Structure 1
Amino acid sequence: MENLSVQQRIKQWPAEQQALLETTYRELHELAEVSWSEVNTNAYLCRALDRIGVSYETFPDQTGVVAIWDEGVPGPTVGLRADIDALPHEWKGKQLAIHSCGHDAHMTIVLHTLSCLKQCGFRPQGRLKLLFQPAEETGDGALSFIRKGVIDDVDYLLSLHVRPIQDMPYGKSSAAIYHGSAVQMRGEIKGVQAHAARPHLGVNVIDALAAIVQAVNAVRSNPLVPSSAKVTQAAAGSTINIIPDYASFGIDLRAQTNEAMDDLIRGVVRAVQAAGAANGAEVSIAPTARMVAAMPNAAMEAIVGQAIREALGDEAFHPPVLTSGGEDFHQYALAKPGLATTMVGLGAGLSPGLHHPEMSFNLGALQHGVAIMATAVTKLFDQDCNPGAGKESVL
């Protein structure tokens, strides 16, 4: 009966605390800071964790906060991860950091999942670990936590992402998001300057750049696996009457599987080098960031699916979202074989879309997220401690 009472309270708490959730969300929204500069966000999270009453760790060489709730009972370590960085936008004539990807909502939900569990009388049979991770947007944040050993003791790791209306309606939730792999590449072109009246004496890097754009657009990949390659940044020249001798460019690659991405990278590198060198220019290109594709875990999805149905009702359950978007959360599963992970998709009525400076969503989704995550945490601890549902069934 005690467990049932705790579960009932967990189901009720988020709706009763909607005002608190909205206040936290708005405060974090106003603190928007770009990757690796989340200093004020770090401080806010530390103050909030002090109020909740759990220990935490920060790092002298980077942003990010790791909180630990451990009451000394032997058991597994369940992790909840939230990304904390915002995106840089040029908007209405100003350079701004804006939480246009929902990371303010993710922090709010993970932070108050902890509040909910503690206030509802839940006690972990093991350790609950909260990862407030920096720099998701650069693709480097998860890697930094991996290098610091943050997940070395983690058995189960959950995360969450608000979804745009194109993916699912408000009130629905999925037990997984199948992100694709995303790679950013940067390149340089070196030519020879000349007077614009004597172009034959120079090597025009803009000619090479134009050829590269066409070559990248023409790269062929497996038609059975969604993928794309396109030049998204280009810069060359400073004076109209001079043949420019230097250009830089950026390429965005997307593929639904990691294997398809490997093939796409090889094809793009060959195409760029051949096209760029056709007029005698020197070309270099290399990846600067990579987000790996999701590695689905059916057993974890089953547990989280149960949590969604219990927290919001059977009608709230939505199939996993398939998206070409990237997410560095999946680096954790790649780095630690055997780590059970999944990312919850949260329908939020979000529009006009992620990464838009005027992105907004129904704040009622905050209570839905807390209810799902808190319920999932209890199920993961029970899954590990129940002799009939050992960890092997998840891994």
Structure 2
Amino acid sequence: MITSKLDLWHHALELSSALIALRRELHEHPELSHEESETASRVTRELQRLDIPYRAGLGGHGIIAELKGAKPGPIIALRADMDALPIQEETEIDFPSKRPGIMHACGHDAHTAMLVGAAALLSACKEQLHGTVRLLFQPAEEVNAGAAAMIRDGALDGVSEIYGLHNLPTLPAGMAATRYGALMGSVDRIEISLEGKGGHGAIPDQSVDPIVCASAIIQSLQSIISREVSPFEPVVVTIGSIHAGEANNVIPHYCRMTGTVRTFHPDVQAKLPDRIERIVQRIAEGYRCEATLYYIRQTPVLMNHDEQVKAVEAVIDDMLGSHSRATAQPTLAGEDFSIYLKDVPGCFFWLGSGPIENAEQAYGLHHPKYWLNEDCLTYGASLLADIARSRLAQLAGGGQ
């Protein structure tokens, strides 16, 4: 039985080898977004072993488990994502992905193992828990669909606060980083279709070239960043794909582009659809093309809540020492944990997963050679468990 922070940490150390084994098993068998059935099945076996009730098949392949303490109190949610990426692994580890073209290049295998570890730690101290810990094993984070789907299936019903983390290979294992307010950017998708008039590449005057129009639109979209948004408000508009034509001597009839739009302020995000629509339509008109813009909102800015950040910092300082806590730098990378934070107060933070000596030389997230220092598994499981334990006590008036 766990009765103190020291007991919790010692128990976490005892779980270390099991968490590493689980993470490696998941790493060898990655699954893409919306396909996480085997991963979910593996998690449910762990929950059954721990005798924690759960519901599976939520939000796709998501799982909601509930660990009820012996004492009355609120509900605190902890979340981990489970999906992998369409990346061919290039690491030299002994347990690489066994599925060609699919890799856990973002460490969601580690996040899943950490939450299983937190569940084991909390099970060992449930007699002292003032309320309920809801464990959210979420699918489809990489395509910004899982959080919303989980919410529709009741993930936040009755929840007072929610917490989550993401590993960061450029931060050494044994450290964590927090930030008040905006931590990660919004994520929106744009799809632009251009219709011109196809023809022979040697006779362009008899055609309407959608490729030339597309190139003008791509260049002009950057004027939003340089001339329509304050330099103190970060914005990124990136066209990531462009498809037109099949032959080198043919002007195609159609051109299609997709891109991503990132901001760091909700007000800026709200104004961008109209600005992008104006540029696309006016440029297309000037090049005699017909244009259609689909602006797809995906995730809002990830905004942490002050009280919950302060609570996380207290746990980090108490467990790892204040010298092991850094201030997180803002990033325009997105995270659909932001959708949970729109409805419920909480905190999302970075957990160091890099080498102890020189984390700056680590391969970053989504890289085919991404590598994770497995020492972070124990830290992540312990921090998540103690955040939930301590916040339940505080909210229920039970102190620490």
For each residue in 1:314-352, what CA deviation from the matched residue of structure 2 results, as whole angstroms up to 9, or x when unmatched? 221222342111100011122x2xx22111210111621
Q: Which moved more, 1:356-365 or 1:119-128?
A: 119-128
Whether 2:172 is the aligned partner of 1:169: answer yes
**Distance in 1 between the 2:351 and 2:289 partners?**
48
Q: TM-score, normalised by structure 2?
A: 0.89
Unaligned runs of 5+ in 2: 91-98
Distance apart, 1:91 and its partner CA = 6.1
Q: Secondary structure at the match of 2:155?
A: coil
Equivalence for 2:82: 84
Which amino acid is the alignment partner of residue 31 of structure 2? E
Q: Secondary structure at the match of 1:96?
A: coil
Q: Secondary structure at the match of 2:144?
A: coil
Aligned match for 1:134, one of 129, 134, 139 = 139
Q: Which moved more, 1:176-185 or 1:137-146?
A: 176-185
**Distance in 1 between the 2:127 and 2:316 partners?**
18
**Distance in 2 between the 1:288 and 1:58 partners?**
29
Equivalence for 1:266: 274
For each residue in 1:172-227, what CA deviation from the matched residue of structure 2 results, as whole angstroms up to 9, or x when unmatched? 11244711112121111111121223322221111111111111122232111112
**Distance in 2 between the 1:265 and 1:303 partners?**
37
Equivalence for 2:61: 63
**Distance in 2 between the 1:91 and 1:274 partners?**
43
Q: Secondary structure at the match of 2:353?
A: strand
**Distance in 2 between the 1:122 and 1:88 partners?**
43
Q: Which moved more, 1:180-189 or 1:71-80?
A: 71-80
Which amino acid is the alignment partner of residue 381 of structure 2? V
Aligned match for 1:382, one of 375, 393, 399 = 393
Which amino acid is the alignment partner of residue 44 of structure 1? R
Work out whether residues 171 and 347 of structure 1, in 8 Å CA contact, stay in contact via their aligned partners in 2: yes
Unaligned runs of 5+ in 1: 390-395
Instruction: Compute the RMSD of aligned alpha carbons.
Output: 2.2
**Distance in 1 between the 2:7 and 2:398 partners?**
26
Whether 2:113 is the aligned partner of 1:108: answer yes
Give the direction of change, closer, same or farther, for the CA distance of 1:316–1:355 in structure 2 (3 Å limit).
Answer: same
Which amino acid is the alignment partner of residue 56 of structure 2? T
**Distance in 1 between the 2:198 and 2:351 partners?**
53
Distance apart, 1:121 and its partner CA = 5.6
Count of residues paired in the alignment: 381
Equivalence for 1:287: 295
Work out whether residues 216 and 231 of structure 1, in 8 Å CA contact, stay in contact via their aligned partners in 2: no
**Distance in 2 between the 1:259 and 1:210 partners?**
28
Whether 2:347 is the aligned partner of 1:331: answer no
Distance apart, 1:277 and its partner CA = 2.9
Whether 2:92 is the aligned partner of 1:96: answer no
Equivalence for 2:94: none
Give the direction of change, closer, same or farther, for the CA distance of 1:187–1:90 in structure 2 (3 Å limit).
Answer: farther
Q: Which moved more, 1:70-79 or 1:297-306?
A: 70-79
Equivalence for 1:373: 384
Distance apart, 1:293 and its partner CA = 0.8
Work out whether residues 140 and 289 of structure 1, in 8 Å CA contact, stay in contact via their aligned partners in 2: no
Which amino acid is the alignment partner of residue 172 of structure 2? P
Work out whether residues 58 and 153 of structure 2, in 8 Å CA contact, stay in contact via their aligned partners in 1: no
Equivalence for 1:186: 191
